[in-house]
Amino acid sequence: METLSKGQRLPLANLVPDGVLQVGVAAQGLALDVACFGLDGAGKLSDERYMTFFNQPRTPCGGVEARAAGGQGGDMAEFALQLARLPAGIDRLVVTASIDGGGVMSQLQAGHVRLQAGGRELARFAFAGLDFAQEKAVMLAELYRKDGGWRCMAVGQGFNGGLDALVRHFGGEVDQAASAAPAAASAVMQAKINLEKRVEREAPQLVSLVKQAGVSLQKVGLLDHRAKVCLCLDISGSMGRLYKEGQVQRFAERILALGCKFDDDGEIDVFLFGKNVHHPAPMALSNCNTYVGQAIQRHPLEGDTRYGAAMQAIRAFYFPDGAGGERTRPVAAELPVYVMFVTDGGTSDQATTEKQLRWASHEPIFWQFMGIGKGRKSKSKFLAAFADSDFPFLEKLDELQGRLVDNANYFSVSSPDEHSDAELYDLLMTEYPGWLKLARGKGLLM
C-alpha cells in the first residue's frame, strides 16, 4: 500500500489494468455527504447524470456507483468504479465530501480516502481538521486521464460554501428558489427539474405515465420518496406472444415512469431470466422506445424458468458483499430497491427461491411479483375476490414464513395491460409503504 501526500499522483495502469477498483471514504467527528463528479475536458459537469451521490447512486454507463461501505476498512461510503465503461467525454472523476448539518471542516478528527481492488488496499490519503479552517466541503481525490491511462491525485482542497459551491465550481446549476434548503436537497431538486425536461424531450410518451405515477405515490405519502427500481422479466418461451405483441414493452415503459418518480437518473435496471440470467444495460429515456425488442434480440427466449437464480443475481448486483448468498443479519443502505418481478409460469427452483426470499428479507429490497395468467387473485382492495390463482407458488412466497420482514407482494393479471395506468400504480403501492416502515424498524434503511 502506498501512502499519498497532498498533491501526489499515482499511475493506475499497472495497479488496476482492468480499471475496476473502489474508492472508500472515512471521517470521524463530522457527518459528511460524499459525492463523485464526472467532469469533461474543460473540468465541467456537462451532464448532471454524472454527479454520483446518495440520491443519484449510479451513472448511466455504470462506470461509477455509490455504495454504503458497511464499515469495511473504516469507510463510511464507497464508489465502485469501472473506468473502462466511462464515455470518452468524461476525463476526470473528483471525489468530494461536504458537511451534513452544522460545523466546519476544522472540527474533523480524522479521515481518509483510499483506493482498493481485488480486496487489496492500493493507496491511502489521510486528512484531518488541521488541514482545514472554516470550509464546509472538500475535494478529496481526483482520477484523471493522462497519456491513454488513468492516474489518481490526492487533492485535499476545501470550499467554504459546501456542496452548492462545489456544484457551481464544476459548472452545475443549483436551484436558487431552494437556496435556503440544505445543499444536497437543492441539488436533488434541480436534478428533478432537469429530469422532467429530459422526459419531455427524450420520451414524451412517458409524460402522462410519470404524472400518473406521481398521483399514486402522493396518495400513500411517497411523492418525495427515493428508491432504486429494477425490472425483472421472464424470457421463457411461453412469454413469446406477449413480447411479439408489444405488451411487455408497454409495461416496461410504465415501470420506467415509476422509476422516474423514485429516482432522477431517468433509468431503471433490468434483469432477464429463463434457464439463465442476463443483465443488459439499463432501460433509460434515451433507449426506451425499442428497449425490450432489442433486449430480446440479444437474449432470445429460453426454456425453463428459474426465479431463484434471478433473485440471486439481483441481490448480488445491489449488495455484492453477500454475492446473493445466505444472509442472516440485517444490512443497511440509504436507498431501498423496488423490484418488479414479472413471470407467466412457475419455477423449477422452488427451494432456491424460498431461500433467496428469506435471505433477501435482511436486505432493503422489496419484491413485487406479478403473475400473468388466467387467475386474478390479489390482496389489493379493489381486486377483492376472484377465481383460484394460477400461481400457487407465488402465493406461497407472499406468505412465506421465516423472514425478518414481509418483503414481498403478489398479484396476477390476465395480461400486462389489463389495468389502467392509475389502477396499476395504485396496485404497485399496495404493500410497499408498509414494508418501508418495517424495513426502517429493522435497521435496513439508513
Which residue type occupies 274? G
Q: Give CA–CA dist 78/168, Å, rounded.
A: 24
Q: How does DSSP assign 175-219, residue by residue? A: -GGGTTS-HHHHHHHHHHHHHHHHHHHH-GGGHHHHHHHHHHHHH
pLDDT in tens, 89-144: 899 999 999 886 678 888 888 899 999 999 899 999 999 877 888 888 899 999 99
Helices (H), 203-279: 207-219, 240-244, 247-262
Between the two ends of the chain, the Cα-to-Cα distance in Å is 32
| Predicted confidence (pLDDT) per residue in 151-208, tens digit | 999 998 888 777 777 887 887 765 444 444 444 444 544 555 556 777 877 888 999 9
The string of DSSP letters for 274-315 reads SSSEE--PPEETTTGGGHHHHHHHHS--BS---HHHHHHHHH
Output the average pLDDT for the chain: 87
Q: Label the pairing between strands 110-117 and 20-28.
A: antiparallel
pLDDT in tens, 342-383: 999 999 999 999 999 999 999 999 999 999 985 433 344 333
Question: Cα 86–91–93 angle (5° rounding)?
Answer: 80
88 CB contacts (<8 Å, ≥6 apart)? Answer: none
- Residue 45's nearest CA partner among 166, 141, 177 is 166
How many other β-carbons are positioned within 10 Å of the β-carbon of residue 166? 26
Longest dimension (CA), the chain: 70
* 405/56: higher pLDDT: 405
Helix (H, G, I), strand (E, B) or coil at 434: helix
CA–CA separation, 127 and 401 (whole Å):
48
pLDDT of residue 297: 96
Task: Classify strands 51-52 and 120-127 as parallel, antiparallel or unpaired.
Answer: unpaired
Tens of pLDDT, residue by residue over 3-16, are: 999 999 999 999 99
How far is the C-alpha of 95 from the C-alpha of 142, rounded, in Å?
6
Torsion of CA 438, 440, 442, 444, to 10 degrees: 120
Buried b (16+ CB within 10 A) or exposed e, 33-45: bbbbbbbbeebeb
Residues in CB range of 334: below 8 A, 6 or more apart: 54, 68, 445, 446
Distance in angstroms (rounded) separating the CA atoms of residues 56 and 154: 24
For residue 93, CA distances in Å to 64, 159, 278, 446 come to 9, 17, 29, 26
User: Using an 8 Å Cβ cutoff, are 216 and 426 in contact?
Assistant: yes
C-alpha 272/C-alpha 301 separation (Å) is: 10
The dihedral over CA atoms of 235, 66, 353, 392, expressed in degrees to the nearest 10, equals -70
Q: Quick one: DSSP state of residue 236?
A: B
pLDDT of residue 29: 83
For residue 177, the model assigns a pLDDT of 42
Q: Which pLDDT value is given to residue 323?
A: 86
- Please, what sign has the CA dihedral across residues 167, 174, 161, 225? negative
Q: Which three cell numbers stand for residue 176?
A: 436558487
Tens digit of pLDDT for each residue in 44-68? 887 888 999 877 889 989 999 998 7
Q: Say if CB 336 and CB 229 are below 8 A apart.
A: no
Is it the case that residue 83 has pLDDT exceeding 50? yes
The dihedral built from the CA positions of residue 318, 110, 44 and 92, taken in this order, carries a sign that is negative
Q: How far apart are CA 25 and CA 390, in angstroms?
A: 49
Is the pLDDT at 396 greater than 60, yes or no?
yes
Taking alpha carbons only, the member of 98, 121, 92, 123 closest to residue 32 is: 98
Taking only Cα atoms into account, the Rg of the chain, rounded to an integer number of angstroms, comes to: 22
Model pLDDT for residues 239-256, shown as the tens digit of each residue: 999 999 999 999 999 999
CB 49 within 8 A of CB 60: yes
How many beta carbons lie within 10 A of that of residue 26, not counting itself?
23
Q: Are strands 64-67 and 51-52 parallel, antiparallel or unpaired?
A: unpaired
